[in-house]
């Protein structure tokens, strides 16, 4: 099995992330973005991953340098940040999503942020397991969306 390395998302990752998003199944677009289209243009990716409201961005690469996962944290209100995570279908269920979220939470903590939130469209057992294991607690917002909160 190839080694997966995590590092800070940089502008070098923008085109690779765009390709990853363009290759997503419709189902994954829905579960990640609650929409039928992903914000996959380079400008949208720069705004989300490297913009003024970005708290942290983490990229996961395999040993060939291919981008296989991304997690991001964005400022949403005083002291709070919202996280999102995505792993390529070919690399799921190997702990990479959990590692991405751990790295993101640690970077946000170092940056001075405490309470995290996330949203998931139910059912999404993989992200539910990842978030619950890290202390997030869910409440139903309606329309099949969970809001997850982590207080630290």
Ligand X SMILES: CC(C)(COP(=O)(O)OP(=O)(O)OC[C@H]1O[C@@H](n2cnc3c(N)ncnc32)[C@H](O)[C@@H]1OP(=O)(O)O)[C@@H](O)C(=O)NCCC(=O)NCCS
Residues that bind ligand X (CB under 6 A): 28, 31-32, 84-87, 92-98, 118, 120, 124-127, 129-130, 133
CB of 97 to ligand X, least distance (A): 2
Q: Which is nearer to ligand X, 7 or 92 (CB)?
A: 92
Judged by beta carbon, residue 74 or residue 120, the one nearer ligand X is: 120
Closer to ligand X at the Cβ: 86 or 104? 86
The residue with its CB nearest to ligand X is 97
Give the C-alpha separation, 129 to 13, whole Å.
27
What is the closest distance, in whole angstroms, from the C-beta atom of residue 149 to ligand X in the complex?
14
Q: DSSP letter string over 69-117?
A: EEEEEEEEETTEEEEEEEE-GGG-SSSHHHHHHHHHHHHHHHTT--EEE
């Amino acid at each position: 099995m190839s080694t997966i390395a995590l590092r800070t998302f940089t502008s070098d990752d923008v085109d690779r992330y765009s390709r990853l998003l363009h290759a997503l199944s419709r189902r994954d677009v829905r579960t990640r973005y609650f929409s039928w289209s992903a914000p996959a243009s380079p400008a949208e990716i720069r705004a989300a991953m490297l913009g003024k409201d970005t708290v942290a961005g983490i990229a996961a690469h395999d040993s060939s340098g291919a981008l296989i996962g991304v997690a991001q944290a964005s400022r949403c209100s005083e002291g709070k940040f919202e996280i999102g995570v995505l792993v390529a279908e070919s690399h799921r269920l190997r702990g990479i999503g959990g590692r991405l979220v751990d790295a993101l939470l640690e970077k946000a903590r170092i940056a001075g942020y405490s309470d995290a939130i996330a949203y998931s469209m139910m059912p999404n057992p993989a992200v539910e397991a990842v978030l619950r294991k890290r202390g997030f607690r869910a409440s139903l917002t309606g329309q099949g969306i969970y809001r997850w909160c982590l207080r630290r």
